[in-house]
């Protein structure tokens, strides 16, 4: 991330954190219910694994 963006986030960190703590990702929950089967294995094809 560039320095300007980091500075802006740092200036407003508290209000940004407040906002994000109130957001509820309803669409993500809908997609999870639609495409994931409870108590079964899931493959994350797009994940990156770094050690």
> pLDDT tens, 14-34?
998 999 999 999 999 999 899
Q: How far separated are the first and last CA of the chain, in Å rounded?
A: 22
| pLDDT number for residue 33 | 92
Which two structure tokens, joined as six digits, stand for 29? 């929950």
| pLDDT number for residue 8 | 87
33-51 average pLDDT score? 81
Q: Which residue has the tokens 């219910």?
A: 33
pLDDT-based confidence at 9, cuts 50/70/90? confident
pTM tops 0.95, yes or no: no
**Does pLDDT of 51 surpass 90?**
no
């Amino acid at each position: 991330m560039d320095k300007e963006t980091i500075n802006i986030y740092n200036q407003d960190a508290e209000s940004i954190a407040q906002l994000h703590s109130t957001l509820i990702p309803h669409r993500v929950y809908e997609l999870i219910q639609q495409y994931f089967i409870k108590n079964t294995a899931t493959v994350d094809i797009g994940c990156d694994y770094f050690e």
